[in-house]
Amino acid sequence: MKKQINRRDFLTRSVLAAGGLTLSATAVLADHPVDRLKGYAQVEQALFLGINRVKDPHKKSAVEKKHAPVIGVPQQIKAGQSFAVTLSVGEIAHPMGAGHYIQYIELLAGNEPAGRLELRPGLNAAQATFYLTVDKPVTLVAREYCNLHGLWESRLEIELA
Ligand SMILES: [Fe+2]
């Protein structure tokens, strides 16, 4: 038998549901990365204000060495032939423990998304390999996101043999 609800019950339930949505939205806002980091004294909150890149390739800081993606490609790349792009975070291996880890690694070929790997702390290494085929020179853009040190990017120009 179908249960009938009256207008008053319907309105009460709607208000409760809307209240739940408001609470959920508040919870999402409170879960901003900068708020989550308040307990970590060693975290530079400025790292969460934009995309981080190596400032001087000849004088990298410790955080740059640990976070800037390292892009590996074959010496020769030919038009129309698949090749492997290996991405590592970074040149010093990044931790992958429960409290400090890389959430994802992604690759773009120019502006085109070319691969994205979500990582599990305690299970994955902070590395990814994607296979690409290009028909003209392109800029590879590698990005990774660290839960404590934000979004990092490296670029590599690809020339064809
Ligand atoms: Fe990190």
Tens-level pLDDT at each residue, the chain (161 residues): 455 555 555 444 544 444 444 333 334 444 455 555 555 546 778 899 999 999 999 999 999 999 999 999 999 999 999 999 999 999 999 999 999 999 999 999 999 999 999 999 999 999 999 999 999 999 999 999 999 999 999 999 999 99
Helix (H) or strand (E) holding 113: strand 112-118
CB 106 within 8 A of CB 68: no
The letter for the amino acid at 56 is: D
Q: How far is ligand 1, taken at its centre, from the CA of residue 94, in Å?
A: 7
Q: What is the pTM of this model?
A: 0.74
Give strand pairing partners of 131. Answer: 84
Q: What is the dihedral of CA 82, 88, 90, 96, to 10 degrees?
A: 160
Specify the DSSP class assigned to residue 24: H
Cα 139 off chain centre by: 19
Which among 85, 82, 84, 58 has a CA at the least distance from the CA of 69?
A: 85
* 147 CA → ligand 1 middle, Å: 7
How much distance in Å is there from the Cα of 49 to the middle of ligand 1?
Answer: 15
Backbone CA torsion sign across 17, 18, 23, 26: positive
How far apart are the CA of 134 and the centre of ligand 1, in A?
32
